[in-house]
Structure 1
Amino acid sequence: MILTARTTRGREKTAVNALKSKVKNKDLDIKAVFHPEDLKGYIFIEGSESDIRDLSSEVRAINGIIDEEVGVDEIEKYLSDEQEEIKIEEGDEVEVIGGAFKGEEAKITRVDETNREVTIELLDAAVPIPTTVDADMVRKKANQG
């Protein structure tokens, strides 16, 4: 059975990682947990209904389970192996759109396409400290090509 869990927007990856680590430590019937990049605020969990409900109640980023089973055909479009290419390059100026630095402007110093992460330096910081964030947490500023 596949169920949909509501999460805090922008915390989908945190919820997935928390679920995965809890599954490793317990003997639960959870087969898969995933978050489609273009579906904000939701993740999908495959397994037994009771284990899904028990486990998700232990994860702070999960706000509840939707009481309707999801068919594989409904989520098939999200199961593509291809991830959208990151269109951000080193040197680009970006706006941070999520996480602790939301609303700040930053410069990209490194792009890690494998892990979909970027290293940024905040432009307004007195001392620029490199910080690595999820690539989905930054948006290229509009005035750039």
Structure 2
Amino acid sequence: MPKKTSIFALRCTIGQEKSVATLIEKRVDGNPDADIKAILAPEALNGYVFIEAPSQREVNAIITGIPHVRGKVVGKIDIDELEEFLIPKPSTEGISRGDIVEIVGGPFKGEKAKVTRIDPDKQEVVLELIETQFLIPVKVHADYVKLVEKGEEEGEKM
């Protein structure tokens, strides 16, 4: 019968969450007696790493001596509180027609553009480049745009 586990929050230096998670993972891999089930370092939450283990003592034993850990384990966390970090959000969320975006990847990197159409199924946006002489519609994956300013509401997503 599997042991019951809990999720514990661990405070760490802001910006070092991934390195702390990686060091914990290496330590767990090198210790066959460690009973750590999962490690989560969400990008959206600075300064915390979440560890799934049967007891707080197990977590404290594995984090001893790891750099950038700030103090002991903060406490147990309910899985419902972490749900927003576990379920990926669509790339088109928060972008609407008329918004001004900056293209952050691809051949038009660094260009500003206006959103003319959104395809949430394909996670794509159609843009008109602002700083060009001609209005050229460009289709870009929503991961490659960053919202610069909200535009006037021109209507619902298409």
Structure 1 and Structure 2 fold alike (TM over 0.5): yes
User: Taking structure 1 as reference, are residues 41 and 90 closer, same or farther at Cα in structure 2, changes over 3 Å only?
Assistant: same
1:59 paired with 2:75, answer no
Partner amino acid, structure 1, of 2:104:
I
In structure 1, C-alpha distance between the alignment counterparts of 2:66 and 2:90, rounded to whole Å? 26
Whether the 8 Å contact between 1:4 and 1:65 is mirrored in structure 2 is no
- How many pairs were matched up? 94
Deviations 1:83-107 (A, max 9, x none): 869x6215746xxxxxxxxxxxxxx
Tell me the residue number matched to 1:13.
Answer: 18
Aligned residue for 1:30, secondary structure, equals coil
CA separation in 2, counterparts of 1:65 and 1:76?
Answer: 24
> Is there any run of 5+ residues in structure 1 with no aligned partner, and where?
94-139
Contact between 1:3 and 1:65, CA under 8 Å: does it hold in 2? no
Find the aligned partners of 1:46 and 1:28 in 2 and give their Cα distance: 12
Give 1:32 deviation, angstroms: 0.4
1:46 equivalent in alignment to 2:62 = no
Report what 1:78 is aligned to: 85
> In the alignment, residue 44 of structure 1 is paired with which amino acid?
F
Assess if the C-alpha contact under 8 Å between 2:60 and 2:73 holds in 1. no
Q: C-alpha displacement at 1:36, in angstroms?
A: 1.1
Whose Rg is larger? 2
Unaligned runs of 5+ in 2: 1-5, 93-102, 111-145, 149-158
Instruction: For 2:66, give the aligned amino acid.
Output: V
Q: 1:83 to 1:22 in 2, by over 3 A?
A: farther
Instruction: Please name the residue that 2:104 is paired with.
Output: 88
Q: Which runs of 4+ in 1 moved over 4 A?
A: 81-85, 90-93
Deviations along 1:65-97, whole A, 9 cap, x unmatched? 344210111111111145869x6215746xxxx
Question: Which runs of structure 2 are paired with 1:109-124 in the superposition (5 Å)?
Answer: none
Q: For the residues of structure 1 that align with 2:91 and 2:15, how far apart are their CA atoms? A: 18
CA distance in 2, matches of 1:60, 1:28: 19
Distance 1:28 1:8, change over 3 A: same
SS at match of 1:37: coil
Name the amino acid aligned to 1:89.
G
**Cα distance in 2 between the residues matched to 1:90 and 1:11:** 28
By how many angstroms is 1:58 displaced?
2.4
Please give the root-mean-square deviation of Cα atoms over the aligned residues, in Å.
2.4
Q: Deviations over 1:37-64 (max 9, x none)?
A: 1101111011031110111122102112
Q: What corresponds to 2:137 in structure 1? A: none
